[in-house]
Homo-oligomer: A and B are copies of this chain.
Amino acid sequence: MKRSLEHIQYKENTEALAKFAKALAHPTRIAILKHLKSQSCCFTGDLVEVFPLAQSTVSQHLKELKNAGLIQGELKPPKIKYCINQENWNIAKSLFNDFLD
């Protein structure tokens, strides 16, 4: 990609909002989050059974959601229990709410 050299200076929250939106920009990730909300928490393996996707693919989606801060993992050997990160979830909620009027 030919990127413009000067990197754009956006107004406050613009990039944070875009980052959250990007994490939500795939139906599988929305579905994962819906599942997490309804179950409050669940294991990677549970999700692998829900979707017709490879384990590695599900894991990658979880990684992105984790990087965005929307979920967090808790070690429950040999499993990992994923839950909504409520603190960041609320931040996202408020950002979207303000933005969308």
Contacts and interface: CB of A to CB of B under 8 A. Distances in A.
Interface residues of A, number: 33
Count of chain copies: 2
Contact of A18 (B8, B24, B52, B101): B24
Contacts of A21: 21-22, 24-25, 30
Contacts of A52: 4, 6, 8
Specify which of A15, A29, A51, A96 lies most central, judged by the most chain B CB atoms within 10 Å of its CB.
A96
Given A6-B52, A52-B6, A99 B30 contact: yes
Interface string A23-36: 01111111101100
Contacts of A63: none
